[in-house]
Amino acid sequence: MWTSNRCFNSWSRTSLFVLSAAFGSLAHAGEGRDRHKDQEFRVASGPLYPELAVGDVIFTSVSAKPFREVAAATDSWTNHVGIVLAIDGKEPLIGESTFPFSRTTSLSKFIARSQNRRYAVARLKTDLSPDEQQRVVIAAKRRSGIFYDTGFDLHSRRQFCSRYVREVLAEATGVNVGEVQTFADLLKQQPGVSLDFWKAWYFGRIPWQRATVTPASLLRSPALQIVFDTAANVQAVPRI
């Protein structure tokens, strides 16, 4: 038993080291830069800075290895997603599930982690009422501080970005965005994608029947409409 515990503890320390390295660029990307980075962001954004609303969904592309693999497996540019929780301060605040736990992040820092600072904004096709927007904030707060689920399991006690956004919107509005898929169905859609990374990630045994939801499926959801994309130069829909 002592030997087993020692092996387990050694495995746990090794796993923690590997996960910390893999997700380090997500947790700290954009930090340690010039102290004027927020001002530079606003200046650089200029007229492309979109008009946002609480409940808008923000898509980005981070460079951490696991997320690059998520993008490849879903044939999409996006691999991370958050939701707008406030627009009345110095800048919008984004709720996100990220490593090591879910939290609120300023829009500038959220976008600074994205490759080439690309991001897109989507919103439900029916505007949220003030009551629904308040429920978005409450639903996100309820999920704040939950540790990140590196297994991307829709039914675990932990959290990951696309599940977080999906559940916040579902609780607040009753609308489900994104498609729930098993790993088998998801990877079957991309037969040319190498499974080497995922085999290593799951220690040789990919959980084929595990249910999950991806940022790409949220981006493609028929319940959402894209109102802004830096790459496509799509402007935000004016709110009346």
List pLDDT tens digits, range 94-132. Answer: 999 999 999 999 999 999 999 999 999 999 999 999 999
For 96-131, letters b (16+ CB in 10 Å) and e give bbbbeebebbbbbbbbbbbeebbbbbbbbeeebeee
Per-residue pLDDT in tens (0 to 9) along the chain, 240 residues = 333 343 333 333 334 434 544 555 445 444 444 333 443 334 334 444 578 999 999 999 999 999 999 999 999 999 999 999 999 888 899 999 999 999 999 999 999 999 999 999 999 999 999 999 999 999 999 999 999 999 999 999 999 999 999 999 999 999 999 999 999 999 888 888 999 999 999 999 999 999 999 999 999 999 999 999 998 755 444 333
Identify the domain containing residue 60 by its residue range.
2-229
Indicate whether 201 belongs to any domain: yes
Indicate whether 161 belongs to any domain: yes
Kindly report the number of other CB atoms within 10 A of residue 42's CB atom.
13
List pLDDT tens digits, range 8-40. Answer: 333 333 344 345 445 554 454 444 443 334 433
Q: Which helix (H) or strand (E) holds 211?
A: strand 211-212
Amino acid making up residue 179: E
Tell me the sheet residues that pair with 19.
none
Structurally, how many domains does the chain consist of? 1
Tell me the sheet residues that pair with 228.
121
Indicate whether 44 belongs to any domain: yes
For 133-143, letters b (16+ CB in 10 Å) and e give bebbbebbeeb
Query: Residue 51: its pLDDT value, please?
Result: 87
What is the spatial distance between Cα 162 and Cα 174, in angstroms, rounded to a whole number?
Answer: 16
Query: Residue 22: its pLDDT value, please?
Result: 54
What is the spatial distance between Cα 8 and Cα 55, in angstroms, rounded to a whole number?
Answer: 42
Query: Residue 23: its pLDDT value, please?
Result: 53
What is the spatial distance between Cα 160 and Cα 168, in angstroms, rounded to a whole number?
Answer: 12
Indicate whether 133 belongs to any domain: yes
Pairing mode, if any, of strands 80-86 and 57-62?
antiparallel
Quickly list DSSP for 43-73. HHHGGGPPP--TT-EEEEEE-SHHHHHHHHH
Indicate whether 93 belongs to any domain: yes
Indicate whether 235 belongs to any domain: no
Quickly list DSSP for 114-125. EEEEEEEEEEES
CATH code assigned at 225: 3.90.1720.10
Indicate whether 218 belongs to any domain: yes
Query: Residue 49: its pLDDT value, please?
Result: 56
Query: Residue 233: its pLDDT value, please?
Result: 58
